[in-house]
Structure 1
Amino acid sequence: MTISNEILTITLNPTVDFSTSAKRVRAGHKVRCDAPLRDPGGGGVNVARAIHILGGDPCAFAAVGGHMGRILLSLLEQEGVRVHPFEVHGETRESIAVIERKSGKQYRFVMPGPRWDIAQVDDALAQICAAVPRAGYVVLSGSNPPGVPDDFAARLSRKIASRDARLIVDTSTKALRLLASTPTDAPYLLRMDKSEAEELAGKPLETVTELAEFATTLVTRGVAQVIVLALGPKGSVLVTQSESWHAAAAEVPVLSKVGAGDSFVGALTLAMAQGDAPQFALQKGVAAASAAVMTDATRLCLRDEAEGLLAQCPLVQLG
């Protein structure tokens, strides 16, 4: 199969992210905050933004509604990210991140988003299928809004099969457990973090080797052709049907962990779309995640820093 370098990201539950800081956060007190920053957010939206920052030209399929939805589209337009808007009932959600300057702790408040009905789910699938680039990459990232079935990723995989596109899924909770337990209509690549992997495994996975072995069992069971496990400050593991790799994270000062995972997925997807082998795409993803934690609030990676950190994210073949 010939792969194109076109990328479509999908965000069913995007958000307008507000970030600020305060000297101290205390219950029962008015918390006086600094002037807020406002960014478009949500898994696939942030993946598209990261790809754009890194030099790609993705299209972001985003479900939007109400006044906050218009704000989201305006923010993406300002950044130069192409958007395929999908109108939903209700208001696009908001999220708030507050850094307590005294302790350095970050408090994050995330709203649920508008509820969908079955007709909206079917309409979204139809519009996504029409927008999927033939032989390109499709990234489904972020939580499902209320009303969207947990098997949405499997339905999407089945719907777009005729387009020869590679589906990358970064999800959590019930949707992730369903993908792992019922490996039909599997995505090309599935990403999860260490705690999610341990929940699926039913036991602690303390070492890189143990994590790689668990990822191998998922690939063998047909959960996905490629499994990626995010290990936070220890980097990430990638396992395919024939090999497994670990890329270590660069040692950098951490200002905010928000956006690191989305920066990883964006860099990984862009590298694969440009023809990089999986292990080198992994390395670029880890470098972008390392760059993202160096930015404050809800900011994503910066291109120069991501490229500059690549040499500090060594690759090790595990098998």
Structure 2
Amino acid sequence: MTEILTLTVNPALDLSTEAPAVIPDRKLRCTAPLVHPGGGGVNVSRAIANLGGDSHPMLAWGGPTGEMLVALLREEGLTPEPLGVDHPTRQSVSVRDQATGLQYRFMMPGPDWTTGDCDTARAAILAAIRPGALVIPSGSLPPGMPLDFFLDLQPAINAGGGRMMLDTSGEALRHAVDRAANLFALRMDHAEARELSGHPLVGIAEIAAYARDLRAGGVAEIVIIAAGAQGNVIACTDWVGLTRPPMVVPISKIGAGDSFVGAFALSISRGEDPVTACCRGTAAAASAVTTQGTALCRRDETERFFGQVTRIPL
């Protein structure tokens, strides 16, 4: 089975809670917070573990918050490996308004990285990459990290027969698209796709057309665009279409994308085709939205939902 290496350069300790109502200028009496380790790659590895798989998580952490994050990961059976950069780890907070059901997410920026920090992390990653590995940089970049940081690792990954699946946001995502990075896989959500394309992308057909364009332009071999409750659009070598999940009652949308990536990566590592992997990711995302905070997907529920995912060619 292919090794999965997840990379998290800007992890966070995630706190999630609820309040009767989120209103200004008042003390909001919240429920006891749930505390989980967070950050894109961290959550991808957690999702893979939830689904019965193995991965190799690498991350940067430091300070009391970082030590708590790592302790929580170890409690979940993961073995995090340091990137050699030990700036204090940030926190993030999500608050669900019980009156409306709306969720508010507050994300701190993370510490500033220096050129030396980037060099240290790069050396650690290159030393950890094994031949044929599926490498997943996921989450935001910290201030000071170049947009090319992960893209510049591709020659070394490709030389060893490995593949990169990128799941990032903001300027780092735009840069990967503009550079035509020739990734193995690239994932984004509908809002990000609209912003990148400069078009509203109304309807699944327009989303699929944009995914085709990205693939044809050399951005990635597999392009996946999450379309919320409608499912995920995938454009790959043999198929373009929608993987539609069963209807579920959402509790929290946090971690749905990371659960998708974890299930998708685990499926690919086991030799399944990209469309089947997308269906497994869609099932895992549906499971994740039914959990509180960042508890992520559940194995039994993901397996059940997988049998209910429909494939719609476009």
CA shift at 1:312, angstroms?
A: 1.9
CA shift at 1:117, angstroms?
A: 0.4
Structure-2 separation of matches of 1:263 and 1:86: 23
Equivalent positions of 1:13-24 (< 5 A) are 13-24=10-21
In structure 2, the residue matched to 1:92 is: 89
Query: TM-score, normalized by length of structure 1?
Result: 0.95
1:113 to 89, 110, 115: 110
1:140 to 137, 141, 144: 137
Structure-2 separation of matches of 1:89 and 1:127: 13
In structure 2, the residue matched to 1:292 is: 288
Residues 46, 259 of structure 1: 8 Å contact kept = yes
In structure 2, the residue matched to 1:204 is: 200
Give CA-to-partner distance per residue, 1:107-166, whole Å, 9 cap, x none: 111101111001111111111111123112111110000100111221122332222111
Residues 11, 89 of structure 2: 8 Å contact kept = yes
In structure 2, the residue matched to 1:125 is: 122
The worse-fitting range, judged by mean Cα deviation, of 286-295 and 16-25 is: 16-25
2:190 to 191, 194, 198: 194
Structure-2 separation of matches of 1:89 and 1:310: 39
Give CA-to-partner distance per residue, 1:229-252, whole Å, 9 cap, x none: 100101001111342121002200
CA shift at 1:79, angstroms?
A: 0.3
Query: TM-score, normalized by length of structure 2?
Result: 0.97
Equivalent positions of 1:1-319 (< 5 A) are 4-184=1-181, 186-318=182-314
Structure-1 separation of matches of 2:159 and 2:123: 13
CA RMSD of aligned residues (A): 1.2
Residues 84, 120 of structure 2: 8 Å contact kept = no
Segments of structure 2 that go 5 or more residues without pairing to the other structure are: none
Residues 216, 241 of structure 1: 8 Å contact kept = no
Structure-1 separation of matches of 2:130 and 2:106: 35
2:78 aligned partner, one-letter code: V
Residues 48, 58 of structure 1: 8 Å contact kept = yes
For this pair of structures, how many residues does the alignment match? 314
The worse-fitting range, judged by mean Cα deviation, of 195-204 and 40-49 is: 195-204
1:309 aligned partner, one-letter code: F
Residues 84, 124 of structure 2: 8 Å contact kept = no
Residues 60, 86 of structure 2: 8 Å contact kept = no
Residues 157, 163 of structure 2: 8 Å contact kept = no
CA shift at 1:89, angstroms?
A: 4.3
CA shift at 1:88, angstroms?
A: 2.3
Structure-1 separation of matches of 2:3 and 2:87: 31
